[in-house]
Structure 1
């Protein structure tokens, strides 16, 4: 089966190629990398190959079949309902791609927010989606990353149109990274119906909603690492059988699992992700989870969007650093660092306290909307 890039970069161009690929009438779709850099042939049944470097900077081309993508869309509809979808994320990112797949499976054209994301553009697109079938309102849905949700909530405090638009959705899926508790509480207080999703490109997007797996998805924790199984799993990594075998092990009974690399616990069937297993530094001979530190830091007023990274430290070997683009981070840097060190020391231990706070004008982001941690590490180095 041939692999081709879409005719253009606009979401509508990607949608047209995606429909052809999902229906089996056209070639597989290459997203995130020019098709010329990838093998011309891909396995039969492939719909999309998504190439992403992620936050670690290591490129990977994930092979997603028609069946995996449609299984994900159908299980989402079973969980939250079916209706009209607004694309507010890059279509080359799996969460944005899935918005297009869900709309296609539902037999509806998605609304598309083109250009730079702003609360006003989001509101304008959302409020044009109102429609009815047989006198009954058609529910609408969208998918956002936490930073977008926070931007919308900030604007909604002074703009009733933005607030009305955010409230108009039957569900707003939030994924891509952990959602700070303070932002979740603000959304709930504002009447915005959010659903926290967990998943990755290797699972065709979110496959666990509010801690509960979608129908067909199974979860287990092996030596602290979360593993997932089900019909939404990718076929593997294009042209990389060794990485595929390592990431997608088979059980003795032939069940295929995906090793997420996330540390997690499952309590009464509800998933709690605790952070990346490999996002750990050794400070003064003690392992420190940067994800745990970041969760504490993001619970502090003024640091909801902060990022915590590890850097070399002459005294301790490695230390954690807070990077923040909050408007008052420059003026309040010492105060915020003191508050953060106290909170982290009380919540985790004195060994985990951040060494400093670095204010920046804007956090560098990947196309997915996630912080570009690798770039931050390079810049601070």
Structure 2
């Protein structure tokens, strides 16, 4: 059995325009209308003629770092589990403010949480997300809701933390869910010190969004660490697979108990309490002289050590004739500051082993991001590499 699929949200629509009419998404979830595919999930020639498995409610494009996005087939049941599970984590139904793009899985689940709870989603005003937009969004919430939530990406959280008025607005939320990209430990600590209720979410398009919160899986989610710490996620919340991508079919398997499993491209470890800590993407690991360096470990150290002059930083590997790869920092300097490589290395000397200390520093006006706010390490690597070549 199969069903037709239509493009939704309308290409080019603002978040406010999207939430004004959710009937197409509601019909897709209820099975009374076509499945929906976010813009870009289908090749242009396939729109209007493609059919998907009958279970499918939403087709969402992965925000992959290389190649064309892969369309993940998400059943209504997977999305319902994701939405219901996070409601339990957050403390119960409430209004969830939409501050992330509705064309990505994070935004879709925010919309569905509102439908689940019986509240109209309120979206951030179009344009650049900054403290003013966040304060405005907070002022427009529904006072009848018993709880109020907002989902932010780490970049948005940093912008909120930089403005006292936005921090005051953030304190009004029962919970701020941070997802779509790793939350640096320094940013989490800053948020907690300012009285914000933070929950760190982890998931992907292939798992209908968040499935682990503060390192703990939802009750119906299975986890396994494979070779090299590769994270495997299983259960009913996992996608059926990819649409028309036989080359990527190996990412999904079914075990003897008929549970679906997805092999992620992330690696992690369990801490002393059993929580799953996501260390980053396997293809982001830096191999310097045969020793592996996780970029997120260096980024966390930069934040926790409060390296002077650094406002934001992204760490990548760049080619090095002696070590194979060298640790490079692409950083946004604080206003009026000109941080140097020697100063950063000295600041980090007590926090990192010698092979993980940066050997390259490249200053930029803003860090490159992709999709809903994930670090664009491919672009950052190109920027650092070009700067290195220009020496």
TM-score w.r.t. the length of structure 1 is: 0.89
Structure 1: gaps of 5 or more residues: none
In structure 2, what is the equivalent of residue 127 of structure 1? 139
Structure 2: gaps of 5 or more residues: 387-391
Select which of 353, 358, 363 maps to 1:359. 363
Per-residue deviation, 1:369 = 0.7
In structure 2, what is the equivalent of residue 60 of structure 1? 70
1:128-186 residue CA offsets vs partner (Å, 9 max, x unmatched):
21413xxxx62111100111111101112xx3xx2332011111101122222222122
Counterpart contact for 2:41–2:69, Cα < 8 Å: no
Counterpart contact for 1:32–1:52, Cα < 8 Å: no
Distance in structure 2 (CA, Å) of the matches to 1:217 and 1:235: 15
In structure 2, what is the equivalent of residue 99 of structure 1? 110
Distance in structure 1 (CA, Å) of the matches to 2:193 and 2:365: 29
In structure 1, what is the equivalent of residue 389 of structure 2? none
Pairs within 5 Å for 1:233-252: 233-244=238-249, 246-252=250-256
Select which of 111, 117, 121 maps to 1:110. 121
Counterpart contact for 2:312–2:367, Cα < 8 Å: no
Distance in structure 1 (CA, Å) of the matches to 2:142 and 2:17: 24
In structure 1, what is the equivalent of residue 156 of structure 2? 148
**SS of the residue aligned with 1:111?**
coil
**SS of the residue aligned with 1:219?**
strand
Counterpart contact for 2:207–2:238, Cα < 8 Å: yes
Could you tell which deviates more after superposition, 181-190 or 3-12? 3-12
In structure 2, what is the equivalent of residue 215 of structure 1? 219
User: Could you say what the CA RMSD is over the residues aligned between the two structures, in angstroms?
Assistant: 2.2
The answer to whether 1:200 aligns with 2:207 is: no
Per-residue deviation, 1:225 = 1.9
Per-residue deviation, 1:341 = 5.0
Select which of 312, 332, 350 maps to 2:319. 312
Could you tell which deviates more after superposition, 309-318 or 92-101? 309-318
In structure 2, what is the equivalent of residue 3 of structure 1? 5
Counterpart contact for 2:305–2:348, Cα < 8 Å: no
In structure 1, what is the equivalent of residue 275 of structure 2? 270
Distance in structure 1 (CA, Å) of the matches to 2:334 and 2:344: 15
In structure 1, what is the equivalent of residue 147 of structure 2? 139
Distance in structure 2 (CA, Å) of the matches to 1:53 and 1:183: 23
**SS of the residue aligned with 2:87?**
helix
**SS of the residue aligned with 1:42?**
strand
The answer to whether 1:83 aligns with 2:94 is: yes
Could you tell which deviates more after superposition, 246-255 or 305-314? 246-255
Per-residue deviation, 1:89 = 0.5
Counterpart contact for 2:187–2:303, Cα < 8 Å: no
Could you tell which deviates more after superposition, 142-151 or 365-374? 365-374
Per-residue deviation, 1:32 = 4.0
Distance in structure 1 (CA, Å) of the matches to 2:68 and 2:369: 16
Counterpart contact for 1:333–1:359, Cα < 8 Å: no
Distance in structure 2 (CA, Å) of the matches to 1:304 and 1:362: 10
Per-residue deviation, 1:251 = 2.1
Quickly say closer, same or farther: Cα 1:76–1:333, change in 2 above 3 A. Answer: same
Select which of 44, 51, 65 maps to 2:61. 51
**SS of the residue aligned with 1:325?**
strand
Per-residue deviation, 1:376 = 2.1
Per-residue deviation, 1:86 = 0.5
Counterpart contact for 1:89–1:144, Cα < 8 Å: yes
Per-residue deviation, 1:306 = 0.7
**SS of the residue aligned with 1:95?**
helix
TM-score w.r.t. the length of structure 2 is: 0.87
**SS of the residue aligned with 1:183?**
helix
1:167-214 residue CA offsets vs partner (Å, 9 max, x unmatched):
111111011222222221221122111111111111111111111111
The answer to whether 1:256 aligns with 2:247 is: no
In structure 1, what is the equivalent of residue 38 of structure 2? 31
